[in-house]
A = this chain, B = another copy of it.
Amino acid sequence: MQSFADRLYAAIKRLRSPVLVGLDPRVESLPEGLRPQGSSPAEQAAAYDRFCRGVIDVAAPLVPAVKPQAAFFEQLGPAGMNVLAGVIGYAQSKGLLVVLDGKRNDIGSTATAYARGMLGAGGQSVWGADAATVSPYLGDDSLRPFIDVAVERGAGIFVLVKTSNPGGKMLQDLVADGKPLYRHVAEYVERQAVETISQCGYGAVGAVVGATYPEQLAELRAAMPHTTFLVPGFGSQGGTARDVAAAFDSQGRGAVVNNSRGIIFAHAAKPYAERFGSARWQEAVEAATREMIEQLRAVM
């Protein structure tokens, strides 16, 4: 079985595109024609299903992967979780890798339960994701079960290291033993990446490093040469192609850059709102995706 990293880099090379499209459906932002009929969780979940499949149809030929945000599906209860499972399967049927963004974390056999449920496509797990995001506060015996299951199943994980939100500083920038907390996490993650390395030169363990801190992105790229970065914060949160340039290695690999709202809700924002509007929302998704790809090709 091919590793997640090998599959990811093969797709990035084939498409010349490191864009990760974030599937963050929100009722109030859906194109008019896709708004739910009523306000029940089942009706909202059905609207998310139609919308996400519509995004996937456009994104599949252009990008290597999508990242469903578990929170928006989970907010709708069991109906939302049913749709999440369907959306993951649909994305994979279109050739996309799926990074399930749930930031899960727990210890021992409980972490193993999360990992077994989420990680592994093609019937290896019930959610069937190719990779998942994980939060590190509980330490190594909370991360190890995710790593073990990921390696066993050709899947990947991305550990939160330096996040894109302003409040991330509260704990992540505290200095202990001469370096910030995020560097402690980074060094642990890089060691795990080295231990799980595959043909492409990157490991099964990646890191979430926000686009909103370009200097730290450069610092961490140097410190973590075998770790793939999942870079959030591009677009809506202020990160630009120039800001994320440092996330790539000298061959233009090493990172996938996420954009959620800036792509999936492009129909409602400049410059696409005027060109396409709500009725032609899929064309707006395509135009926004292509523009982001062009911007990143220039800095990869």
Q: Which A residues fall within an 8 A CB radius of B?
A: 24, 26, 41, 69, 71-72, 74-78, 80-82, 84-85, 103-111, 113-114, 116-118, 126-127, 135-142, 144, 160, 163-172, 174-177, 181, 184-185, 188
Complex Cα distance A106/B85, Å?
20
How many Å lie between the Cα of A111 and that of B102 in the bound state?
11
- Do A114 and B75 touch across chains, with their CB atoms under 8 A apart? yes
Measured in the bound complex, the distance between the Cα atoms of B257 and A63 in whole Å is 48
A125 to chain B, nearest CB (A): 8
Least distance between A111 CB and chain B CB atoms (Å): 7
In terms of DSSP, what is the predominant structure of the interface of chain A? helix
- Which residues in B have their C-beta under 8 angstroms from that of A76? 117, 126
In the complex, what residues of B have CB within 8 A of residue A170's CB?
139-140, 184, 188
Contact of A113 among B75, B82, B109, B126 (CB under 8 A): B75
Option from B113, B142, B166 in Cβ contact (under 8 Å) with A165:
B142
Most chain B CB within a 10 A radius of its CB, from A69, A103, A105, A136: A103
CB < 8 Å: which of B69, B84, B138, B176 contacts A174?
A: B176
Residues of the B chain whose Cβ atoms lie less than 8 Å from the Cβ of A85? 77-78
A78 to B79, CA, bound (A): 8
Given contacts A165-B108, A165-B138, A175-B176, contact A41 B126 (CB under 8 A): yes
A55 nearest CB across to chain B (Å): 17
25 residue pairs A–B, Cβ–Cβ below 8 Å: A71-B117, A72-B110, A74-B114, A75-B117, A77-B117, A77-B126, A78-B84, A78-B85, A81-B81, A103-B104, A107-B167, A107-B168, A136-B137, A137-B163, A138-B163, A139-B163, A141-B166, A142-B165, A170-B188, A174-B174, A174-B177, A174-B181, A175-B176, A176-B176, A181-B181
- Do B138 and A160 touch (CB < 8 A)? yes
Q: Which residue of B lies closest to A144 (CB)?
A: B167
